[in-house]
Structure 1
Amino acid sequence: MSKRIRISLDKRGVSCVARLLEDEAPRTCAAVWDALPLSGQAYHAKYARNEVYTLVPPFVQQQPGKENPTITPIPGDVCYFGFEPWEIGNPAYGYEPGSEAHAAQGATDLAIFYGRNNLLINGDAGWVPGNVFATIEEGLEDIANACQDLWLRGVEGETMTYARL
């Protein structure tokens, strides 16, 4: 039986269920599963379009490397990105001083994609492939509506939690 996780926008009281893609991204799935639960400030993407994510401290000694990578995630994709401090600490990205984006050890980005036409490119760094390690199988419409609300009304005070089912 496949492992499943619950991804929640806590303040809005909305969640979805995603199935881990253990055949396609075994190292990434194992790293995330072993680290759960994980929670942090929710952010809505500026560049990638229909993406909501959280930044958490790195939770693996060695990055899993590229597995099932994409630069064009589709609705329901759940992605992992491991960032070095220099990759996301740019003040132009808008992260508050002291946030995970400015941590000396870098940050791990766990993201969901809730709509179409996403493109993972960064004006400073170029293409930013993410490891697709899970797919949302329940609650995509509800979480998409909540993500759109984040875009329209802001993310302040919203947290995103990833937990085992």
Structure 2
Amino acid sequence: MAERYLEISLVKRGITCTARLLGDRAPITCAAVRKSLPLSGDVGWVPGIVWGQVVEGLGAMAEGCNDLWRTGAAGETLSFRRV
């Protein structure tokens, strides 16, 4: 599988990072993720597995996620799209 990337955004906060899909580690999940894109919705606790690695914008996304944790997710949208 060629390297494939996603853009992940906290829309309200205007924060975006780029993640590389780990198709060699989770090929079925990565295929399902790509097939479902674009996708967005409210932030919430969900069980998960590792299917990607942030390769750009991690600092800003981490700060945004920490702010989300402290101030709440009301009105925020988590968005995924192909790069």
TM-score by length of 1: 0.47
Q: Does 1:163 align with 2:81?
A: yes
Matches within 5 A, 1:15-54: 15-43=16-44, 45=45
Q: Which residue of 2 aligns with 1:139?
A: 57
In 2, Cα distance between the equivalents of 1:20 and 1:141? 19
Gap runs ≥5 in structure 1: 46-108, 110-127
Name the structure 2 match of 1:2: 3
Runs (4+) of structure 1 exceeding 3 A deviation are none
- Return the structure number with greater relative CO, CA threshold 8 A, min gap 6: 2
- Residue identity matched to 2:23: E
- Give a deviation string over 1:95-146, Cα, whole Å, max 9, x none: xxxxxxxxxxxxxx4xxxxxxxxxxxxxxxxxx6x32110011111100000
C-alpha distance in structure 1 between counterparts of 2:65 and 2:34, whole Å = 24
The Cα shift of 1:157 comes to: 0.3
Matched ranges for 1:11-160 at <5 A: 11-43=12-44, 45=45, 109=46, 130-160=48-78
How many aligned residue pairs are there? 82
Cα RMSD for the two superposed structures: 1.3
Higher relative helix content: 2
Per the TM alignment, residue 24 of structure 1 is displaced from its structure 2 partner at its CA by 0.6
Shift of 1:151: 1.2
